[in-house]
Structure 1
Amino acid sequence: MRVALAVGLDDEHRLTGSAAYHGHEVVAACSGGDELAVRLPQLPLDRVVVAATPEHLTPRLVDAADELGVRMLVVADDEAAHRHAVRVGVIDAVDGPASWTLLEEGSSRIASAGEGVLASADAEELPPNRSAGIVVAVWGPHGSPGRTSIAIALAAELAAAGRQVVLADADTHAASVAPSLGLLDESPGFAAACRLAGTGGLDEVQFHRLAQLHRGARHPFRVLTGIGRSSRWPELGEQRVAGVLAAARQFTEVLVVDVAASLEQDEELTSDVGIPRRNAAALEVLRNADRIVAVGAADPVGITRFLRAHAELLEIVDPARVTVVVNKLRAAAIGVNPGGQVRQTLARFGGVGEPVLVPWDPAAFDAALLAGRPLADAAPRSSARAAIRELAATLEPFRPAGKVRARRGRRLA
């Protein structure tokens, strides 16, 4: 096995001197993580051994390894090293000191885990008495229509209905679920799940370990937090996201995913197809989701943006899986009979039949944001909460909608 090292000097000398005996070749030994990150694209290697110290395990190295698909063995000598590994998004660090035995044991574990995941995916088998879960994507155009607020409130209502729910933040542009719920996002759970899915190591234990339990909610649900820095979007590759969705169907009843607004695929035309694409995560979630909640804002600008983006959405997904939600409904921005005007406009220009209308209730949403709690807990009598509760009820009986080939929608000029 060809290996690159980013470890302390003593470990470097010991590993380099004994590599041939264990059947390995050290192709590079770097004094720091950033140095190795620069050299990584040019190195012909199979694995990287890294010490879990700020000097060696750097965010730049983690990003480079993720982008190139290089597996890392992260070795932590003490509790401080384990904490540092978690801070940069590595949750599977092993206890030190570094040795070739650790590398061989790690390879065996990854191989066996990968075989198990592939076997279960091919056979589509689930444990006895457990049906496949569903994936609900929450999407909306640019302009802050309230995607994240609706996603959080929807997850809470599904949990209140007795479902086992995981809320995931797959937004590669502006992830905001964690701060909205008062959760730490130093070690993004969704990115870590993607990393494990890429190596075949995302089992049920790891999945529930990464999904934080939001205990502040009256009916708790789990959260896979999003990336705190938007520059980390390459960690959410298309195949990795698909692996997380497949795992979630086995490990939970409902996965609610908050995705970014952008649906552009132009990056494929201007770059190597092997390079990660920033919108790939959103597109992969939307293509694989059983139900899609499309959120628009109830004002002249928001409706216009929604109609144009909704037409693009229908080009890549089956319209039968889409439920339209119009948020922030108020007469002050629409005029007399705002509900009727919104329904008429959506039906005429977008072919939308029965949108779900969520009234404008800024005091309720502000109270939820201030407390870091779902809308159902912060303002249980809110009219907006009542509308979202009805939306959650439309997802019953939680059976995947039929997935026929997507029809191309009309595009507004």
Structure 2
Amino acid sequence: MTVARLLLALDRSTEDRLLPDIVQYGHAVLARVSGAGELLAALDRTEADVALVSAGRATLSAAVVRACDEHGVRVIALAVTDQDRRNAAGLGLLDVIDATADWAGIEAVIEAGVVIPLRVTERASSLAAPARGTVIAVWGPSGAPGRTTLAINVAAEIAAAGHTVALVDVDSYGGGVAPALGMLDESPGFAAACRLAGTGSLTRPELERIAQRYTSPRGAFWVLTGIGRPSRWPELSGERVSKTIEVVRNWVDYVVLDTGFSLESDEEISSDLFAPRRNAATLTTLRSADHVVACGLADPVGLARFLRSWAELAEAVSTDRVSVVMNRVRPSAVGIDANRQVIAALRRFGGIHAPFLVPHDQAGADAAVLTGRTLRDAAPKSPARTGILRLVQREILPEPVAARSRGVRRMPWRRRATAL
């Protein structure tokens, strides 16, 4: 049983009801306060582990959340009304419990030890955060090159840097994000968002209602799950997808989109110009993205598939906003000095001069899939996870303001090849 040092900022009736059980479970109550001002003062003079607070605006505010983060204090909010829950959700809190819950339920949350450091108001102080959400599309050809795994872990690393993130499964051939993270996908969140966007009723509260949340000690993010049955692809029309992306990018700092593989233009194979297009979701996503991460599998078959599709991708988007990532680089598939051979093949046959190489780590990938977690949580020392982190730091996140050089423009296809 976890013994915690608590701060209580609750209404009197809730506090009187819970206090005997708190004492019985052996927790230490360092202070009992009312209101945000008294809670902020208590944070400065105590060394608490957990703050149990009323979720109303009089007690729970952005300043309280920020101060708790600075002091390393976990916030658990007790909500009485829907307005209280909306207030907590607007501040990015997931540990929100009904105020009528008994102590056993609260104790289970404390024991779980899930800390959600991401807040809507929180930003990394040394980073120049974008004014509106940045959209990142993760694409790869057929043959399971690791699109979903890469998208999940890119989202996790961006979130761990202190940004709010939404991971969206846009694959019209069947979503893989939900099963990879151990989430229920009976009601696909992205399809629901598209339906709401089609009627002009997709709002931030609706997104928070239909999205699921991946929780982590560092790197929590929102998830809009994909369609479970491929037959549902007509729900993901190009217009709906475009509208949904625009709403989501104004909801969070970064939107990571796990796309489908096919870049085939449906109009060329259909005589009905008004019929739904199966690949419209993927093509719309790529055109809407600020940055595209194109991934391939680092073996002879995967390289051939990637290079054949590279020309199609170059027709769909400008390659100056594309980062190329080759997954599962290993000598057993491409021979001695695998990094050099993969780099040489991409340069010779695709004109790609700066690929990112992610080493093969079967143990780490298996641990992540088995537990339904990200590599950061399941295998933090994984070389694959370290490689993805470097990709995020070098290509996606803004550089620290102080480190930027004036008048220097980086040429994306002339930087040194990077082995991750």
Check the 8 A contact 2:357/2:387 in 1, yes or no.
Answer: yes
Partner in structure 2 of residue 164 of structure 1: 164
CA deviations on 1:14-38 (whole Å, 9 max, x unpaired) are xxxxxxxxxxxxxxxxxxxxxxxxx
CA deviations on 1:348-382 (whole Å, 9 max, x unpaired) are 11111111100000110110000000011100001
Partner in structure 1 of residue 271 of structure 2: 271
Partner in structure 1 of residue 243 of structure 2: 243
Aligned-pair CA distance for 1:165: 0.4
How many residue pairs match? The answer is 272
Check the 8 A contact 1:155/1:165 in 2, yes or no.
Answer: yes
SS at match of 2:148: helix
Aligned-pair CA distance for 1:218: 3.6
AA aligned to 2:392 is: A
Q: Distance in 1 between matches of 2:219 and 2:379?
A: 14
Q: 1:338 to 1:217 in 2, by over 3 A?
A: same
1:329 aligns with 2:329: yes
Q: Distance in 2 between matches of 1:208 and 1:217?
A: 20
Task: Summarize the alignment of residues 17-36 of structure 1 with structure 2, pairs less than 5 Å apart.
Answer: none
CA deviations on 1:151-196 (whole Å, 9 max, x unpaired) are 1011100000111000000001121100000000000000000000
Task: Summarize the alignment of residues 228-377 of structure 1 with structure 2, pairs less than 5 Å apart.
Answer: 228-377=228-377
Check the 8 A contact 2:214/2:222 in 1, yes or no.
Answer: yes
AA aligned to 2:324 is: V
Partner in structure 1 of residue 397 of structure 2: 396
SS at match of 1:295: strand
Aligned-pair CA distance for 1:217: 6.1
AA aligned to 2:365 is: F
> What TM-score do you get using the length of structure 1 for normalisation?
0.64
SS at match of 2:201: coil
Check the 8 A contact 2:248/2:255 in 1, yes or no.
Answer: yes
Q: Distance in 2 between matches of 1:282 and 1:217?
A: 32
Q: 1:372 to 1:398 in 2, by over 3 A?
A: farther
AA aligned to 1:191 is: A
CA deviations on 1:82-129 (whole Å, 9 max, x unpaired) are xxxxxxxxxxxxxxxxxxxxxxxxxxxxxxxxxxxxxxxxxxxxxxx9
Q: 1:398 to 1:312 in 2, by over 3 A?
A: farther
CA deviations on 1:47-95 (whole Å, 9 max, x unpaired) are xxxxxxxxxxxxxxxxxxxxxxxxxxxxxxxxxxxxxxxxxxxxxxxxx
Q: Distance in 2 between matches of 1:220 and 1:283?
A: 28
Aligned-pair CA distance for 1:249: 1.7
Partner in structure 2 of residue 96 of structure 1: none
Aligned-pair CA distance for 1:309: 0.5
SS at match of 2:183: coil
Q: Distance in 2 between matches of 1:377 and 1:269?
A: 44
CA deviations on 1:181-235 (whole Å, 9 max, x unpaired) are 0000000000000000000001111122222111256421010000011100000
Partner in structure 1 of residue 153 of structure 2: 153
CA deviations on 1:307-361 (whole Å, 9 max, x unpaired) are 0101110011000111000000000001111101111110111111111100000
Q: Distance in 1 between matches of 2:269 and 2:218?
A: 47
AA aligned to 2:373 is: R
* Cα RMSD after superposing both structures: 1.7
Q: Distance in 1 between matches of 2:220 and 2:276?
A: 34
Aligned-pair CA distance for 1:147: 0.6
Q: 1:398 to 1:240 in 2, by over 3 A?
A: farther
Check the 8 A contact 1:268/1:277 in 2, yes or no.
Answer: no
AA aligned to 1:295 is: C
Aligned-pair CA distance for 1:273: 1.4
Partner in structure 1 of residue 202 of structure 2: 202
Q: Distance in 1 between matches of 2:217 and 2:181?
A: 9
> What TM-score do you get using the length of structure 2 for normalisation?
0.63
Check the 8 A contact 1:157/1:392 in 2, yes or no.
Answer: yes
SS at match of 1:200: coil
Check the 8 A contact 1:217/1:373 in 2, yes or no.
Answer: no
AA aligned to 1:395 is: I
Aligned-pair CA distance for 1:271: 3.1
Q: Distance in 1 between matches of 2:399 and 2:138?
A: 16
Identity of aligned residues (%): 53
Check the 8 A contact 1:329/1:360 in 2, yes or no.
Answer: yes
Check the 8 A contact 2:158/2:219 in 1, yes or no.
Answer: no
Partner in structure 1 of residue 179 of structure 2: 179
Q: Distance in 2 between matches of 1:234 and 1:398?
A: 40
Aligned-pair CA distance for 1:396: 2.0
Q: Which moved more, 1:183-192 or 1:390-399?
A: 390-399
Aligned-pair CA distance for 1:131: 1.6
Q: Distance in 2 between matches of 1:280 and 1:390?
A: 31
SS at match of 2:325: strand
Q: Which runs of 5+ in 2 are unaligned?
A: 1-128, 401-408, 410-420
Q: Which moved more, 1:322-331 or 1:387-396?
A: 387-396
Q: Distance in 1 between matches of 2:346 and 2:269?
A: 32
Q: Distance in 2 between matches of 1:367 and 1:249?
A: 31
Q: Distance in 2 between matches of 1:299 and 1:174?
A: 25
Q: Distance in 2 between matches of 1:142 and 1:269?
A: 19
Aligned-pair CA distance for 1:275: 1.0
Check the 8 A contact 2:212/2:223 in 1, yes or no.
Answer: yes
Q: Which runs of 5+ in 1 are unaligned?
A: 1-128, 403-413
Q: Distance in 2 between matches of 1:368 and 1:357?
A: 20
AA aligned to 2:302 is: G
Q: Distance in 1 between matches of 2:223 and 2:180?
A: 12
Partner in structure 1 of residue 414 of structure 2: none
Q: Which moved more, 1:263-272 or 1:317-326?
A: 263-272
